Amino acid sequence: MTSNGAGSYEKTRQRHRSYLTNLMPEFLARLHWSRAEIDAEQTRALRDLVSHAARSSPWHRERLRRLAADRLTPAALRDIPPMTKGDLMEHWDAIVTDPRCTFRAAETHLAGLTADAYFLDDLHVIASGGSSGERGVFVYDWHGWAASALGLMRGLYDILLSLGRQAAPFATVSAYVASHATSALGQTFSNPDQPSVRAPVSLPLAEIVTILNRAQPSLLHTYPSMLPALCEEARSGHLHITPALVWSTSEPLLPEVRAMVEATWNIPVANGWAASESNGGAFCCPVGPGFHIGEDLNIIEPIDEHGNPVPSGDRSAKILLTNLYNRIMPLIRYEITDEFQIADGPCRCGSAYLKVADVHGRADDVFRYASGIRVHPLNFGSPLGREPAIVEYQVRQTERGAEIAIVARATVNIDALRSTLAQRLTGLGLSAPEVIVRRVDRIERQGAGKLKRFIPLPTF
């Protein structure tokens, strides 16, 4: 099932890299498409996907049987009920379109991964980190894996070209295990002619600093939760790098983190959005905060808690994703609990693709108390983010309030911080809230290396 042997893997990988290289000019050209060209490609790809899913996926065959795929438009997607991660994990074998590809075999493959490896000769399997509380397993076909890499990276190439810089040397501080997309994609499509280095986020910070100092990256990629620590290392004189661009993915990028990076290196921060369900879901905007939806590769519908469409300018409770490029696992109106806010009007960069404000949280991060009170994570994140000494934090909901762990580089007035947060909760209607703030040396990360900032209690 797995491509065994270094020689076999390397030959397949080189063929895959050549495939990606051949696709690259088209994918870069698509960045400059008109709205009409984007809409035409969306419609074509959607009809192709739905036709294939109805023909080759037993689960989708029943779900899509009343649709005329050859006349389908993106607007008509609302006639299809959403699918959830629970649906995917329960009906995995019936959703995929290749009968050889079973959930049991995919799990066996994942369990044996050390470095990147192909599954069933030309496929890739990854697992989500479970940050939403429910693990997911996703399979990509040959084209889908290459398209996801290009969809993710093409905006960066465009920005670096405008800066007159190369993407190399490239350094990533992220997950190491190849079951995670950021690790596996980098290994599959690595280019020996463009120096790159991976620093596992699980390493001690001093070792990460040593690796980055040695690499001297032009492009630095990491999770937003790692950026405050790296900025502090630069300010203290331990980290000596001069990147042209910092690229953050996989977690919400908070405004104070963006400002910290810009102040430390005087460079732009390119924020991307990606999910295990669609690594190529968006590309970075070259003129400031936010990102553009890769609408040639995806359809994204922002919705409220009741499933109703959310207008531009309003923040959604979740999104529905239709991945147009990965045919082996059709995800059609798949629910993701990220909060999107579509910009109202065109972006000043000139792109015809929809613009989304930086994602600041997930619906799963909202604290819901027994009294019926809902507290958005920004009510904690804003006061904590304004404390210049705090490098990292994690907020755990309690029945009467919250328990907060902070990593700080200097003294923090914990009593004042506790009072501010308690006042916020009181103002939102929580009676006599209990807020505990404690200083710690480090905060444990998830298996994929991400930091879960907000941990709600189980739903009442």
Of 347, 363, 379, the residue that ends a domain is 363
How deeply is 114 buried, as exposed, middle or buried, from its count of CB atoms within 10 A (0-12, 13-18, 19+)? exposed
Contacts of 204 (CB under 8 A, 6+ apart): none
What is the mean predicted confidence (pLDDT) over 427-455?
Answer: 80
CB 150 within 8 A of CB 279: no
Q: Is the pLDDT of residue 446 over 80?
A: no
Give the pLDDT score at 460. 45
Question: Which one of 363, 394, 424 terminates a domain?
Answer: 363
At residue 124, does pLDDT exceed 90?
yes
Q: Is 460 contained in some domain?
A: no
Q: Within this chain, do residues 321 and 432 fall inside the same structural domain, yes or no?
A: no
Residue at a domain's end among 335, 363, 391:
363
Burial code (b: 16+ CB inside 10 Å, e: under 16) for 397-413 equals beeebbebbbbbeeebe
Which has more pLDDT, 11 or 371? Answer: 11
Please write the tens of the pLDDT for every residue from 58-69. 999 989 988 888
Q: Which structural domain, as residue segments, surrounds residue 153?
A: 1-363
Domain count for the chain = 2
In a domain, 86, yes or no: yes
Report the DSSP pairing between strands 334-336 and 390-397.
Answer: unpaired
Task: Provide mean pLDDT across the span 398-405.
Answer: 93
Residues 359 and 403 in one domain: no
Statement to judge: residues 213 and 136 lie in one domain: yes
Query: How many angstroms separate the Cα of 191 from the Cα of each of 195, 217, 307?
Result: 7, 15, 43
- Across 201-294, the runs of DSSP E, i.e. the strands, are 219-222, 245-248, 269-271, 282-284, 291-293
5-23 residue pLDDT tens: 668 999 999 999 999 999 9
Q: Which of 146, 131, 135 is nearest to 223 (CA)?
A: 131
Task: Dump pLDDT digits (tens) for 252-283.
Answer: 787 888 899 999 999 888 888 888 899 888 99
Query: Are residue 320 and residue 420 in the same domain, yes or no?
Result: no
Residue 343 DSSP code: -
Q: Are residues 392 and 340 in the same domain?
A: no
- Structural element, H or E, at residue 403: strand 401-408
Angle between helix axes 227-235 and 205-215 (nearest 10 degrees) is 70
Q: What is the CATH number of the domain that holds 421?
A: 3.30.300.30
Q: Looking at 239-286, which runs of residues are DSSP E strands?
A: 245-248, 269-271, 282-284
pLDDT at 222 over 70: yes
**Percent of the chain residues past pLDDT 90, beyond the cut:** 51
Shared domain for 259 and 309, answered yes or no, is yes
The answer on 385 and 408 residing in a single domain is: yes
For range 173-197, the mean pLDDT: 81
Q: How many C-beta atoms lie closer than 10 Å to residue 248's C-beta?
A: 24
Give a yes or no: residue 371 inside a domain. Answer: yes
